[in-house]
């Protein structure tokens, strides 16, 4: 696996993490990010769709078919590309290494040893 030249910004990484769990539409992404960040990150639709366009342009996500909308408004669904999954994995590994270092420096809550 190749190393990232530059890590993704935190909100992009949260989008990639949410999509690592499966295909989602925009509102599903907003709710997943809010839940996974324990309410610390809330994305408004305009910022979300700007990020989705950028991630799509960069080849990290792609549009996907979703479940039938049953006559409701058509939703755009997104999923990770193999490159997007690789980037998310590399960023997770990078953050894990940083957390290990922070733990060694007793910077994380509960690190008393």
62 three-class SS: strand
The domain ranges of the chain are 10-104
**Which pLDDT does position 109 carry in this prediction?**
85
**Which pLDDT does position 1 carry in this prediction?**
44
Distances (CA, A) of 90 to 58, 68, 85, 94: 16, 34, 9, 6
Please state the pTM of the whole predicted model. Answer: 0.86
47 three-class SS: helix
- Is 18 buried (19+), middle (13-18) or exposed (0-12) by CB count in 10 A? buried
pLDDT over 60 at 71, yes or no: no
**Which pLDDT does position 49 carry in this prediction?**
95
* Interval 55-76 mean pLDDT: 82
* Adjacent-strand bridge partners of 25: 77
**Which pLDDT does position 75 carry in this prediction?**
85
Instruction: Tell me the CATH class for 10-104.
Output: mainly alpha
């Amino acid at each position: 696996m190749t190393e990232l030249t530059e890590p993704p910004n935190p909100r992009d990484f949260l989008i990639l993490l949410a999509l690592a769990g499966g295909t989602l539409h925009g509102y599903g992404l907003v709710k997943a990010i809010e839940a996974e960040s324990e309410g610390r990150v809330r994305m408004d639709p305009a910022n979300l769709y700007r990020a989705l366009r950028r991630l799509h342009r960069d080849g990290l996500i792609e549009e996907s078919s979703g479940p039938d909308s049953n006559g409701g408004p058509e939703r755009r669904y997104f999923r990770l590309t193999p490159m997007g999954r690789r980037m998310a994995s590399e960023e997770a590994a990078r953050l894990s290494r940083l957390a290990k270092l922070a733990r060694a420096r007793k910077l994380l809550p509960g690190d008393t040893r």
